[in-house]
Amino acid sequence: MTSALTHFRRCAWQGLVLLGGAAQAQTVAPPDAPASAPTAAPAAQKTDGKPAAQRVEISGTVDSNTDRRRSTAAKVIYGREEIDRMGDSTLGEVLKRLPGVTMGGTPGRGGNPSMRGMGGGYTAILIDGQRMPFGFSLDSIAPEQIERIEIMRAPVAEHGARAIAGIINVVMREDFKRKANEFRFGGGVEDGDRPQFGANWNTSGQNDALGYNLSAALTRQNHGDESFGHTVGTEADGRTSLEQFSHNLSRSRREGVFLNGRLQFRLGQGNTLDLQPFANLSRSRSSGHATLDQPIGFPPAAFASADYNTRGDTNMGRLNGTWVRTLDSGGRLQLRFGTSLAQSNSLTQRQEYASGGPLVREKVDDGSVRDLSVDMNGKFSQLIADRHSMSAGWEVQGGRRSDQRITTENGLPTLTEFGDTLEARTLRLAAYAQDEWEWSKTFSFYAGLRWEGIQTKSDSLGQHVSNLSSVLTPLGHMVWKLPDAPRDQIRLSLTRSYKSPTTAQLIARPSISNLYSDTSKPNLAVSPDRAGNPELKPELAWGLDLAFEHYLDAGGIVSANVFARSIDNLIRTVRAEEAVSWASVPRWVARPQNIGTALAGGLELEAKLRASDLWDTDWPITLRTNGSLLWSRVDGVPGPNNRLDQQPRYTANFGFDWPLRGTPITLGSNLNFTPSYVVQQIDSQIYRQGVKRVIDGYALWRFGTEASARLSFTNASARDYETGTTMLLPDGSAYAQDTLSRTYTTVTLRFELRF
């Protein structure tokens, strides 16, 4: 019987892998590791010198070695080994290979990460447990500066419930338990002629009173972009009414400096103070040329060719602090405070020419954005009994955003009725309570309740907008370790979560179409103006997650997770022809709107294992693979492709690492695959996206324990990337717009020194 059961499990593991499962490598506890809470805090010290029972509570600062098996909430942690493996130069390249994560945009160009294919805004992106200012790019953070990446498939009260799809928490370098220095530098080339450079330094250490970790990164990147567009308009009778061909070619350069630190002061009597300074300075310059040919259609094209130049500067500083006092009673008091200031300036100059060369329009867009944020939160936790703790906390965050924008056309200002400066203010209040109890060695549960309210106000030239929303979210998690199978466990989560509108979605200030910038004339549905909607409501969702996990020897894992989300007040961008204040004729305008309800679900498979777990071999190969089958339905939008925006039907990753015996060389590769798909966004609008097939690889040469060299290939199979949109109008006419973008291969050689 035991032999048959073992054979059955082995076959099941293989089946999960072949179906498309499994995961990026991760630190996994050995099978006999004791169960505990997901973020066990250090044990309190009693006055008699004996250690108190271990605390069990969810916390935002988890030891990077705490693995998913010991966590009551579904949390997966990816440490330095996984982050370093492929030698990635941007954080986006790391994230795309994690289970359930998809990246928007052109392959090799980063983009916004999302979980479960649910698009931007459904995934909470945190840095050290805190949300960053709107517009902050994760790709400005060098992977070498990251301690670990935490993936949470369902929210917990402490991290917030604005996470319908899940949470990605990026934790900056924090290890100061040993004195160490790391220096990494290298360079590369994109498409054979665009150089890249990066250098990173990290130092850490501690004494009786202070622990520290300081790091700095310098990057310089050169990129090229080229795209081809084709737009066709047809009448109800099938006659072609419009045909346009466009071509865009641009070059860009970006330079950045990133500084980060973590200082821990031991104040005695159970008191510690952590300070986390953080600074990012970047500069970008780009120039490009565009052509527009319109053989069919009236009125004629707005221009035949255009030249443009853009420069941008972004500076950001942040300081977070955490004071912790450990009480003799087994309690713990925590107070966190933080402030951040981000400033960005941009200037775009565009000259448009008619056929034959005369200048017909010169447009200048000069803008600056200033974001100031101040927040404070507190938390008290108390050990109730052995492996049972409760905690409660509160949060206050205030933000102020100043957006100044001056746009001129042929020297004359435009959109003057909206003013040059927009002021927006946000106030967020939250309170929560949570209880975690390891009931027995085989069963643990977590229950939490969180209330959160957000108020957004904006003013521009006498126009006042105010939006107020609040949400109460219950959250529950449990894990059951099977008594007859100590390597197996089952997880269940039932949660309430939401997605609040962004400030940009709420503010009604318009952005004019580049192709039809003359507001005395109409534009087309495929090139609308864009504006916000101050009446938006937050999206609300109930979520269910059910997972099975099996842990293998030597840190391997095979798992399957089923999830479902029921969403109300779904927000979609809707295009409609409107009579607007900024134009003398009706214009097509794209605005976000609440359109109804939606359902989403899927199956997520993952595995990390050795080749010998699948077949009889002594090859020291490690396999990493994950896959997601995704499904959704938007009510009120006709099928068959009425899914959530940007959601493919499935995604898959497959990778391996192969240390060559008898040599200091390790080889590895990864295939990231997203199939083509079509989404019916609203009744009259269809979005299309082509296949994404990205192959990365690396070769690592170790010169001992303190030095190594890594040769990396990113997007080695560079393929053209296709996207498209179709608009169906009430009179039976239609417009189809397709874009083909080139992608590029980057080769990088990096040296790593430890001393």
Q: Let me know if 639 is exposed, middle or buried by CB neighbors in 10 A (0-12, 13-18, 19+).
A: exposed
What is the structure's pLDDT at 356? Answer: 81
Residue 755 confidence class, pLDDT cut points 50, 70, 90 = confident
Give mean pLDDT, residues 628-635.
95
Tokens of 221: 């990147």
CA Rg value for the chain: 27
Q: Name the DSSP letter for residue 511.
A: B
612 three-state secondary structure: helix
Q: Is this model's pTM higher than 0.85 or not?
A: no
Q: Is the pLDDT of residue 508 over 80?
A: no
366 near 403, Cβ under 8 Å? Answer: no
Give mean pLDDT, residues 390-402.
94
What is the structure's pLDDT at 5? Answer: 37
CB neighbour list of residue 237: distance below 8 Å, 6 or more residues apart? none
C-alpha distances in Å from residue 315, one per residue of 344, 345, 370, 644: 6, 9, 10, 34
Tokens of 407: 């746009």
* pLDDT tens by residue, 332-360: 999 999 999 999 999 999 999 998 889 99
Question: What whole-number distance in Å separates Cα of residue 62 and Cα of residue 131?
Answer: 18
Give mean pLDDT, residues 365-378.
93
Angle at 419 between CA 417 and CA 425, to 5 degrees: 125
What is the structure's pLDDT at 514? Answer: 79
Residue type for position 119: G
What is the structure's pLDDT at 134? Answer: 66
Average pLDDT, the chain: 85
Assigned CATH topology for domain 19-754: Maltoporin; Chain A (2.40.170)
Give mean pLDDT, residues 532-550.
93
164 near 539, Cβ under 8 Å? Answer: yes
126 near 53, Cβ under 8 Å? Answer: no
* Weakest mean pLDDT among 9-18, 129-138, 185-194, 576-585: 9-18
How many other CB atoms sit within 10 Å of the CB of residue 115?
28
Q: Is the pLDDT of residue 271 over 80?
A: yes
What is the structure's pLDDT at 716? Answer: 92
Q: Is the pLDDT of residue 132 over 90?
A: no
What is the structure's pLDDT at 750? Answer: 94
Q: Name the maximum alpha-carbon separation found in the chain.
A: 90
Residue type for position 752: E
Q: Is the pLDDT of residue 254 over 80?
A: yes
Concatenated DSSP letters for 46-103? PTTSPBPPPP----SS--TT--GGG-SS-EEEE-HHHHHTT--SSHHHHHTTSTTEEE
How many other CB atoms sit within 10 Å of the CB of residue 563?
25
* Weakest mean pLDDT among 410-419, 667-676, 715-724: 410-419
C-alpha distances in Å from residue 193, one per residue of 139, 196, 743: 22, 10, 14
Place of tokens 């997605």: 499
What is the structure's pLDDT at 135? Answer: 65
User: What share of the chain has pLDDT > 90, as a percent?
Assistant: 55
Would you state the torsion angle of the CA atoms of residues 57, 59, 64, 67, taken in this order, to the nearest 10 degrees?
40
74 near 152, Cβ under 8 Å? Answer: yes
Q: Which of these, 95, 102, 201, lies nearest to 148 by C-alpha position?
A: 95
What is the structure's pLDDT at 600? Answer: 96
Question: What whole-number distance in Å separates Cα of residue 699 and Cα of residue 332?
Answer: 47
* pLDDT tens by residue, 673-695: 999 999 998 888 899 999 999 99
Q: Is the pLDDT of residue 222 over 70?
A: yes
Question: What whole-number distance in Å separates Cα of residue 29 and Cα of residue 37?
Answer: 13
Question: What whole-number distance in Å separates Cα of residue 647 and Cα of residue 104?
Answer: 10
Q: Is the pLDDT of residue 34 over 70?
A: no
Tokens of 504: 């940009």
Residue type for position 275: L
Place of tokens 């517009």: 135
Question: What whole-number distance in Å separates Cα of residue 10 and Cα of residue 60?
Answer: 36
206 pairs with which residues across the strands?
Answer: 211
Place of tokens 């450079």: 197
What is the structure's pLDDT at 301? Answer: 86
Concatenated DSSP letters for 125-147? EEETTEEPPTT--GGGS-GGGEE
Q: Which of these, 379, 274, 383, lies nearest to 328 by C-alpha position?
A: 383
* pLDDT tens by residue, 61-114: 333 334 677 788 888 888 888 898 888 888 888 998 988 888 888 887 767 888
Domain residue ranges in the chain: 19-754
345 pairs with which residues across the strands?
Answer: 313, 368
Residue type for position 499: K
Q: Is the dihedral of CA 681, 683, 687, 688 positive or negative?
A: positive
User: What share of the chain has pLDDT > 70, as a percent?
Assistant: 90
* pLDDT tens by residue, 566-610: 999 999 988 889 999 888 899 999 999 999 999 999 999 999 999
Q: Which of these, 489, 488, 495, 532, lies nearest to 510 by C-alpha position?
A: 532
What is the structure's pLDDT at 449? Answer: 96
38 near 66, Cβ under 8 Å? Answer: yes
* Weakest mean pLDDT among 61-70, 112-121, 224-233, 433-442: 61-70
655 near 142, Cβ under 8 Å? Answer: no
Give mean pLDDT, residues 437-464.
87
* Weakest mean pLDDT among 247-251, 354-358, 502-506, 557-561: 502-506
Stated as kind and residue range, the H or E segment containing 7 is: helix 2-19
End-to-end CA gap in the chain: 54
* Weakest mean pLDDT among 7-16, 28-37, 131-140, 620-629: 28-37
Give mean pLDDT, residues 311-317.
93
Residue 713 confidence class, pLDDT cut points 50, 70, 90 = very high
Q: Name the DSSP letter for residue 442.
A: S
Give mean pLDDT, residues 15-35.
34
